[in-house]
C-alpha cells in the first residue's frame, strides 16, 4: 500500500533523529513512503517558480528545482 506522507516532525533528541532517519530511509527504499511532488522546474525558470508559489495551490506537494 502506497502512502503519501509529509514528515514535518521536529526531532530534538538523538533517539528521535535516529528513528526518523531510519523510518524515512526504509520507507523510501521499500516504496511504502512516496514523496509527493507537485511540480518540477529547471533552475532557469526560477521566476516562474516564484510566481507559482505565490498563488494559492490545491496540491500541497513539494516543488523541485533541478540544476545542471
13 has a pLDDT exceeding 90: no
Does residue 30 sit in the same domain as residue 40? no
Q: Total structural domains in the chain? A: 2
pLDDT tens string 18-29: 777 777 777 777
Q: Which domain holds residue 10?
A: 1-34
Mean pLDDT over 46-68 rounds to 86
Cite the beta strand spans of 1-68 per DSSP E: 3-4, 33-34, 37-42, 62-66
Does residue 26 sit in the same domain as residue 52? no
pLDDT tens string 27-53: 777 777 777 888 899 999 999 989 988
Does residue 49 sit in the same domain as residue 28? no
Q: Is-contact 36 61, C-beta < 8 A?
A: yes
**What is the model's pTM?**
0.49
| CA R_g for the chain | 15
Amino acid at each position: 500500500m502506497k502512502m503519501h506522507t509529509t514528515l514535518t516532525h521536529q526531532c530534538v533528541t538523538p533517539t528521535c533523529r535516529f528513528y526518523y532517519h531510519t523510518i524515512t530511509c526504509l520507507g523510501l527504499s521499500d516504496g511504502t513512503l512516496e514523496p509527493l511532488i507537485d511540480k518540477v522546474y529547471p533552475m532557469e525558470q526560477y521566476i516562474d517558480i516564484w510566481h507559482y508559489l505565490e498563488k494559492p495551490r490545491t496540491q500541497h506537494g513539494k516543488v523541485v528545482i533541478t540544476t545542471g
